[in-house]
Structures are given as C-alpha cells and as structure tokens.
Amino acid sequence: MTFAEEYETHCAQHGTPERIEVLFADLNGILRGKWVPMDQWEKIGAGKLRLPFSTIAVSIRGHEVPGSGTGIVVGDPDARLVPVPGTILPVPWADRPTAQVLVEMEEDPGVPTNISPRTILSKMLDTYRAHGWHPVTAAELEFYIIQSRDRADAAPCPPPFTPPAQNYDMEAMDRNAPWLDQLLAACEVQGLPTDTVTAEYGPAQFEVNFRHGPALAACDQALLFRRAARCIAAKHGLEATFTAKPYAAEPGNGFHIHASLVDGDGANVFDEPGRPGPLLTKAVAGTLATMEDLQAIFAPHLNSYRRFGPMSFAPTAPEWGFDHRGAAVRMVETAGPAARLEHRIAGADANPYLVMAALLGGMLHGIENDLALPPAIGDGEPPRPLTSHWIGAVDRFEASPHATAIYGDRFRHVFSAIKRQEIEEIATVIPPQEYELYLSRL
C-alpha cells in the first residue's frame, strides 16, 4: 500500500490523529524526528519532510560531530524523510490523538543513506536472501524502573518496598502491575509481540521477551518498546532505563537475541544430523571470531563496560556453551524446528539494528569461511577476555575488516568519529571521586 492508503486505513481503525510523529534511530539508537500536524500528513508520503542529515550522526548529547564529515563542516545539508511501509501506529499513551511512523533518511531521492542502521540491517538480510535463507529471531530486553529524579545527574533509586533481589518475585510483579499492565496494553495496540514478562534479579529490574519473527521487525519492536516503556513509566511518576549498568553492585541490562535460519520452505536449516549440526556450529564460531572487533557495537557507551565483570550475569569472553548463561553465545536447542543460538553479549543500551547486523554478519562469516567451533566454556584453554576499556573497543572497531564488511567504510568512519567525540567530551568532566580522593591529599 502507499502511505496514503496506510494512513486512511489507520484513520478508519483508530480515528484521525491530531499529529503524526515521524521517527528514526540515530547511530546511538536514540529516536529523533519531528511532529507533523494532521493537515500536513500528505507531506510524509510525498517525501517532502526534511531534516539535517547530520541528525542521524550526532553524539549521545545531540552534538554535531565534525570528524564524521557531517554537519556544518559540509554545509549541514538536508536529507529527505521517507516513511517505512507498514509502520504507522497509534500512540496510546499520548494525551492527544497521535500516530507515529518510522522513516528512513535519503541523501539522494530513492536511496536510503548507507549509514542508516536500519538500512544496514536490510542489506545484510538481502545477503541472506541471496543464500536462500531468512533469519528468524526473538529479542529479550532487560530494564530497570527507578524513582523519578529531579536532576539528570542524580543517582538511581528503586521504588519503595522493592526487594534487593527480585529473582522472579511474583509480589514484585503485582506491585508493578499498574504500569506494567498499561505498557503491555500499549504493546498490544502497537502490534509489538511481547511474550513473557519477568521480575529479573536486580531491584525493580524487569525483562520482556518477544515472540520470534523476522529480524528487521524484531529490531523495530525493540526500539519502539524502549520508547513505550520510558513514556508510560513517566506517566506513573517513574523512569524506565535501559542503561547497561545503572547500579554498580547489581546486574546489568542485556539485549539477548535468539536466532535461527529458515529456508524458502520455512524449514530450520540449523536442524541437521549431528546435534549440533554443521551450519549451527559454523554460525556460532563466526559470532565468536568477530566478537572482539564488534564489541563497540555491543557495548557502545562508557557505562556499557561496567556490565562486564565476574559473576555479573554478563559474558566476559568470546565463549559458547550448551545452555550456559555465562557464555557469550548459548546453544539453547540443537535439533528440531527450535534449533537456535542465543547471543548474550549486547547491552540493552545498544542500537538494536546494529547489534542484529553484527550478529548476522558474524554468523555469515562463520558459515562462508567454514570456521571450526572452539572448545565450549570450561573446556580447554579459555580465550582472551573481551576488553573492559571503551577506547580500546573503539580502536579495534575502527581498524576492523569485519566492521568494514558488515557496515561499510563510511559507517565505520562515522561511528568511530562519534564515539571518539563522546570519549573526549566525557574525559573533560572531572567526576566527584577525583575530588574526594585527591583534593585533600595531594
């Protein structure tokens, strides 16, 4: 359908909105866009909406990044915003009748920009289609609920009566039912296929599982769920955060992906004799072989590296295991229609499209290069741990041939420039601990 037809269908089902929010994810996974009044809706389908192209490549603070080659250094040109088919949805938590639609940026008419995270994943899926395969994925997202804060730099605090370790506590679910019920109802209205919801280990930490489906849709859903959770929590005087490590002494928030491959007939190609079969073992080997190079994608922020630590429920090395939650890649099922791997290394703060592209790119690297699977976790010599340093991860990504193969030269350069500017911005801020440790002693 054209956007006009989709809009008319939406209005027939949900009523005419007063405005439409056009949304796209920047490289950090932050949703950006604009509000379009109802009487201007035709501009969306006609490609008449514009935003500066640099908007997709700003830092986490929203600043332009001159080193990326975007922004005022090149005149800050506009890009067109073009709607993604099938993504117009109601916004049930809005105070006024509102719709939202995902858009892509086009630098040239008809050509989505090659640094768009969504476009990069789409091209990866094209490569899989050329092999006759279609990735089937299911995402799991962890997040914390905290009390609303008066300052952005205030430390997080759980809501009252939160147990120190929830650990699937059903009373914790009951106490949080008012906002959880509203969140799940919003997901149903928006067609986000949530499955189970649990009270995770940390205080006021929760996990939502999504039903399996196409990889691109899974990333759209994860991105939109993060927005819904934050907006609905705010309605209840709370904050939802997908920060990788909000509390130093509590578990971090992960973004886990279950992945399998089906052929044109819908048969799972990982279901092969051998348990696990050759394609599954090669795919797992490929994710491990590329993991160090792509760690800056899985852990894109300074706080991301606090999540990796001993006994932290987060993997710390490129290892795999059978049903082992300490491994970066877990083989959940090795035979039958549910044969799949679970990729556990990414934080909930990462850009879903970029994480999925990294996972699928690693799987393809292992399959195409016939990689052998190393010993499972606990067997043989352990591999070198992943880095605990943000700068080192960015350095490795910037020099990586795997990053170039998956994302392209331009994206690799722009992403690295953004991260370097963020590193520089944070390095100029003196934290309170330095005053505490040094001012009165040195």
- Residue 431 CA to residue 442 CA, distance in Å, equals 17
Residue 220 tokens, joined: 């759209």
Contact by Cβ (8 Å): 379, 320: no
Q: Report the DSSP beta bridge partners of residue 327.
A: none
| Range 53-66 burial, b when 16+ CB lie within 10 A, else e | bbbbbbbbeeebbe
- Residue 239 CA to residue 299 CA, distance in Å, equals 22
Q: What pLDDT, on a 0 to 100 scale, did the predictor assign at position 193? A: 97
Q: Which residues contact 328 (CB under 8 A, 6 or more apart)?
A: 287, 288, 291, 315, 317, 318, 319, 320, 343, 344, 345, 386
- Residue 33 CA to residue 16 CA, distance in Å, equals 20
Among 331, 358, 293, 367, which Cα is nearest to 130's?
Answer: 367
* Torsion angle defined by CA atoms of residues 38, 42, 43 and 46, in that order, rounded to the nearest 10 degrees: 160
Phi, psi angles (nearest 5°) of residue 43: -60, -30
Burial (CB count <10 Å: 0-12, 13-18, 19+), residue 47: middle
Report the chain's C-alpha Rg in angstroms: 22
Neighbours of 52 (CB within 10 A): 18
Neighbours of 2 (CB within 10 A): 10
What is the chain's pLDDT, residue by residue, as a tens digit (442 residues)? 899 999 999 999 999 999 999 999 999 999 999 999 999 999 999 999 999 999 999 999 999 999 999 999 999 999 999 999 999 999 999 999 999 999 999 998 899 999 999 999 999 999 999 999 999 999 999 999 999 999 999 999 999 999 999 999 999 999 999 999 999 999 999 999 999 999 999 999 999 999 999 999 999 999 999 999 999 999 999 999 999 999 999 999 999 999 999 999 999 999 988 779 999 999 999 999 999 999 999 999 999 999 987 666 789 999 999 988 889 999 999 999 999 999 999 999 999 999 999 999 999 999 999 999 999 998 888 899 999 999 999 999 999 999 999 999 999 999 999 999 999 999 889 989 999 999 988 9
Among 314, 324, 422, 402, which Cα is nearest to 124's?
Answer: 402
